[in-house]
Structure 1
Amino acid sequence: MNIQETSLPGVMLITPKIHSDNRGAFWETWNHQAFESEGLPCTWVQDNFSISKKNVVRGIHYQILNPQGKLVRATHGAVLDVAVDLRKSSPCFGEHVAVELSGENGRMLWIPEGFGHAFLVLTEVAGFAYKVTDSYNPNGERTIVWNDPDLAIAWPVVPEEAIVSDKDANGATLETAEVFA
C-alpha cells in the first residue's frame, strides 16, 4: 500500500497495490501492519455500506459526541469523496480535500476525528464501504449543508440535479455549525 498525506494534515490517501491478470484483480483493502507502521487506527468498531445512484450527495456528516475516524472506499462505481477540517483550532479549519474513489482504482481515504465527510456519486450506481473508530451516536450527529458557499467545494453536479436527503439539504452552515475545538 502507498499511504500519503493529502493537503489536509491527518487525512491520508491510501492506494493499494493492485494485482491484475486475465481473471480480474486482487488487492488488500486493509492491512494491520501497514496501518500500524503509519500510525493509523487498527481497531474498528463498525463497518458500514451504502449503495447510491448517480448524483446522490451524502453529507457533510460528523459526530460531536463519539467522534469517528473513517476509512472510506468505493466498492464499485465512482464517487467524489470530500473531507472537511472542522477543528476550530486547526490552521486548515474550513478547508477541504476532494478525491475520486472508485472500484477500479481501489483508493481509500482515511478521515480522522474532527473532520466532516461527504461524497457525490459520479457513476450510474456506486457501492460505498467505510470502517469507523467509534459507534454511531444519533445525539452527537451533526450535518453541514453540502453546498455551503463558505466551503467552496467544486461539486461536479448541477445543484438542481443533486439528490440530497432533507437532513443534508437543511444542514447548518460552517458559520453556524457546532464544530470541534
Structure 2
Amino acid sequence: MPFEFEPLAIPDVILVKARAFPDERGFFMETFKQSEFARGGIRRNFVQDNFSYSRRGTVRGLHYQMNPAAQGKLVACLRGEIYDVAVDLRKGSPTYGRWVAALLSAENRRMLWVPEGFAHGFQALTEGVMVWYKVTAEYDPATERGLRWDDPALGIEWPLRQEAILSTKDAVLPTLAELSEADNNFTYGGHL
C-alpha cells in the first residue's frame, strides 16, 4: 500500500504518510489515489489545488470557509518544513476549540488531512517554503473566515512565535471567543 493513514489526537484530522520508491534517479511517489484515501477514511472529491511560497516565520491562517462552501484540505510541504495546525470549530464536538499539529516537510513527505469544520494554518520553519494543498470546495470570499493565530485560549505552540510574519488581514482576525454565530455554522455530527 502506498499510503499509511494515522488519525491524530483529534481523530478526524489524519496524518497521511506517502511511500516513496527511490532509485538512482531520485524517487517516485503517489500523492493522491482516491481508492486508497477512501480506505483510509478520506472520502472526498477535490475540486481545487492551491500553492503558496513563504518566508521563514510566516504564519498563514488560521483560515476556514463556512457552510455551504466549507473546505476540507489535504496539505503537503514540497520544499522546506512547516508546522501545520488544525483547530476544531464544530459546535458540540468533544474536541471543540482544541488543536492538533504536525510537522510536514519535503523530506518526510507527509500530508495532513484537515476536514471541513476546522480552521487551518501553518508556520514556515525554513526559508522558501512551498506548500501545496487540495481542497474540497472552491474558494468563496463570501464564506471565508479566520481565527486569530495566537488566541491565548487556544494556546497553540507555534515554534517560531517571536518570528511570526502575518498578513494585515490575518493580524486582525478574531479569537474563538469573539466569533459570532454568523462566523461559525459548523456542528458536530460524528466522524466525517
Match of 1:43 among 42, 45, 52: 45
- Structure 2 residue aligned with 1:157, among 156, 160, 164? 160
**Counterpart for residue 172 of structure 1:** 174
**Does structure 1 residue 138 correspond to structure 2 residue 137?**
no
Q: How big is the shift at 1:39?
A: 3.2
CA–CA separation in structure 1 for the residues paired with 2:64 and 2:128: 24
Looking at structure 2, the residues matched to 92 and 42 of structure 1 have their Cα atoms a distance apart, in angstroms, of 22
Partner of 1:80: 83
Give RMSD over aligned pairs. 1.1
TM-score (norm 2): 0.90
SS at match of 2:76: strand
1:42 deviates by 4.2
Compute the displacement of 1:162 (Å).
Answer: 0.9
**TM-score normalized by structure 1?**
0.95
3-state SS of paired residue (2:134): strand
2:167 alignment partner AA: S
- Structure-2 residue corresponding to 1:24: 26
Cα deviations across residues 61-86 of structure 1 (Å, max 9, x unaligned)? 00113100000010111100000001
Deviations 1:76-125 (A, max 9, x none): 11100000001111010011111000011110000110000000000111
Q: Which deviates more from structure 2 when the two are superposed, residues 96-105 or residues 32-41? A: 32-41
- 1:6 aligned to 5, 8, 19, which one? 8
Match of 1:60 in 2: 62
Query: Which residue of 127, 131, 135 corresponds with 2:130?
Result: 127
Deviations for 1:142-175, whole angstroms, at most 9, x for unmatched residues? 111111111100001133x211001111001010
SS at match of 2:178: coil
With over 3 angstroms needed to count, the CA separation of the structure-2 counterparts of 1:140 and 1:42, relative to structure 1, is closer
The residue aligned with 2:95 is 92
* Structure 2: segments with no counterpart, 5+ residues: 188-192
- The SS at the match of 1:119 is strand
- Count of residues in correspondence between the two structures: 180
